Amino acid sequence: MLKNNIRKRLPPYVSYRTFLNFVERLQQGGIPSRIDRSYWGDRVSGSTGIQLMAALRFLGLIDANGVPSSRLRQLVSSKDAQRSDILRQISADAFNFLQEGTFDSQTATYAQVEEVFHRTFELTDSVARKCVKFFVALASDAGMPLSPFIIKRVRLTWAGTGTGTKPVIKRRGNKVKRNLIVPPSLEEIPSEASWDKMLLTKFPTFDPSWSDGVKLGWLEAFDGLKFPSFNPSWSDEIKLKWFEAFDKLLGRDFPKANI
Tell me how many degrees the CA angle 244-9-28 measures, rounded to the nearest 5.
70
pLDDT band at 247 (very low <50, low <70, confident <90, very high): low
* Tens digits of residue pLDDT in 211-224: 766 766 666 666 65
Mean per-residue pLDDT for 124-152? 90
pLDDT at 171 exceeding the cut of 60:
no
pLDDT at 159 exceeding the cut of 70:
no
pTM of the model: 0.62
Mean per-residue pLDDT for 92-118? 89
DSSP for 176-223, please give it.
Answer: PPP-----SSTT----HHHHHHHHHHHSPPP-TTS-HHHHHHHHHHHH
Question: pLDDT value at position 179?
Answer: 44
Tell me the C-alpha distance between 59 and 90, whole Å: 6
Mean per-residue pLDDT for 125-143? 91
Sequence-distant (≥ 6) Cβ neighbours of residue 116 within 8 angstroms: 97, 98, 103
pLDDT at 256 exceeding the cut of 60:
no
Q: Which of 248, 242, 219 is nearest to 229 (CA)?
A: 242
Question: pLDDT value at position 35?
Answer: 95
Q: Specify the long-range contacts of residues 144-149, CB closer than 8 Å, at least 24 apart.
A: 144/88, 144/91, 144/105, 145/105, 145/106, 146/105, 146/106, 147/104, 147/105, 147/106, 147/107, 147/108, 147/109, 149/107, 149/108, 149/109, 149/110
Question: pLDDT value at position 220?
Answer: 65
| Phi and psi angles of residue 219, each rounded to the nearest 5 degrees, phi first | -65, -40
Question: pLDDT value at position 207?
Answer: 75
**3-state DSSP percent of the chain in helix, strand and coil, to 5:** 55, 0, 45
Average pLDDT for the chain: 76
* Tens digits of residue pLDDT in 185-211: 444 444 444 555 555 566 677 777 777
* Tens digits of residue pLDDT in 18-77: 999 999 999 999 999 999 999 998 888 888 899 999 999 999 999 999 999 999 999 999
Sequence-distant (≥ 6) Cβ neighbours of residue 25 within 8 angstroms: 43
